[in-house]
Amino acid sequence: MNTLTVSNLKVWDSRTGNVMISNSSFEVKQGSCLAIVGESGSGKSLTCRSIMRLNKAGVRQSGDILLGEVNLSTLSANEMRKKRGKKLCMIVQNGMRAFDPSCAVGVHLQETLAWHFGWSRDEITARMRKAMESVLLKEPAAIMNSYPHQLSGGMLQRVMIALALVLEPDIVIADEPTTALDTISQFEVVEQFNQLRGKISCSMIFVSHDLGIVKRIADEVLVMKDGNVVEHGTTQDIFSAARHAYTRYLVSSKRALTEHFMKIMGGERDVYH
């Protein structure tokens, strides 16, 4: 069964007529993680924002986006707002952008959870504390009292993962969530994403340009180029028997970089390989 089914997604700029995604169709199976890969500008982020219906002004979309049996494309703005967070949750590259810089992180968490569930302040604090501890964030109370700029990128991503643990959405859409982090934080945050899936049995879309991370986290891979899906297969097939020349190019580039790294570092291996 599919958690998400995207059919004939088209995204264009209504001011210029420029089509950024021409006709994309794919599905995400229940409990499965689909990685979206492709070069810069291939349409990965637009795909994520279109599923969330959070495209910027002037950007239009058409096509069907089924979450279970609900067609998100036909919901009113208000109905869609209720789905965001509770049913589908997005985690972005820069944690600083996800939070309001003018208030403490806890205020944002309180507002979000009170709006979706109507829980009391104490209940939200208790649930968030438990979730934060489970993603190995020490001193949850101090974190909730901190402003976003006082926390590291890795900590902010963990706070988002902790929030997702409490929200228990059907699908988590993570758009390059580890790109702005150092290698050690990347490793730890990817681990937390893997555990999130296990704990709440959600499906996941994970956008990354790092094929090492994709190999560790994804069950299936969607390859995009110039706004088109050029290949979709299991992670194993994509890495060992890609059919499309562009996918083979991506995989061989990664292999060449790894070999180069090993040559210059005298046999040291990157943590992901």
Ligand X SMILES: Nc1ncnc2c1ncn2[C@@H]1O[C@H](COP(=O)(O)OP(=O)(O)OP(=O)(O)O)[C@@H](O)[C@H]1O
Which residues ranging from 103 to 162 are in contact with ligand X (CB under 6 A)? none
DSSP run (H or E) holding 189: helix 183-200
Which residues ranging from 6 to 35 are in contact with ligand X (CB under 6 A)? 13, 20
Of 13 and 168, CB closest to ligand X: 13
Which residues ranging from 195 to 214 are in contact with ligand X (CB under 6 A)? 209
Contact predicate 91/172, CB 8 Å? yes
Q: Report if residue 255 touches ligand X, rule: CB under 6 A.
A: no
Of the candidate residues 1, 17, 56, 69, the single one contacting ligand X (CB under 6 A): 56
CB of 140 to ligand X, least distance (A): 31
DSSP run (H or E) holding 256: helix 245-264
Of the candidate residues 35, 37, 44, 208, the single one contacting ligand X (CB under 6 A): 44
Neighbours of 104 (CB within 10 A): 17
Beta-strand relationship, 33-37 and 59-67: unpaired
List phi, psi (to 5°) of 200: -110, 5
Of the candidate residues 22, 23, 52, 59, the single one contacting ligand X (CB under 6 A): 59
Q: Report if residue 226 touches ligand X, rule: CB under 6 A.
A: no
CB of 249 to ligand X, least distance (A): 16
CB of 17 to ligand X, least distance (A): 11
CB of 241 to ligand X, least distance (A): 24
Of the candidate residues 8, 41, 184, 255, the single one contacting ligand X (CB under 6 A): 41
Of the candidate residues 6, 46, 181, 218, the single one contacting ligand X (CB under 6 A): 46
Residue 20 per-residue DSSP state: E
Angle, helix 105-117 to helix 153-167, in steps of 10 degrees:
20
# binding residues, ligand X (CB under 6 A): 13
Beta bridge partners of 84: 88
Of 41 and 273, CB closest to ligand X: 41
Q: Report if residue 171 touches ligand X, rule: CB under 6 A.
A: no
Q: Report if residue 52 touches ligand X, rule: CB under 6 A.
A: no
Torsion of CA 12, 18, 24, 28, to 10 degrees: -50
Q: How far apart are CA 59 and CA 255, in angstroms?
A: 36
Q: Report if residue 40 touches ligand X, rule: CB under 6 A.
A: yes
Beta bridge partners of 27: 5
Neighbours of 108 (CB within 10 A): 17
Contact predicate 101/150, CB 8 Å? no
Residues that bind ligand X (CB under 6 A): 13, 20, 38, 40-46, 56, 59, 209
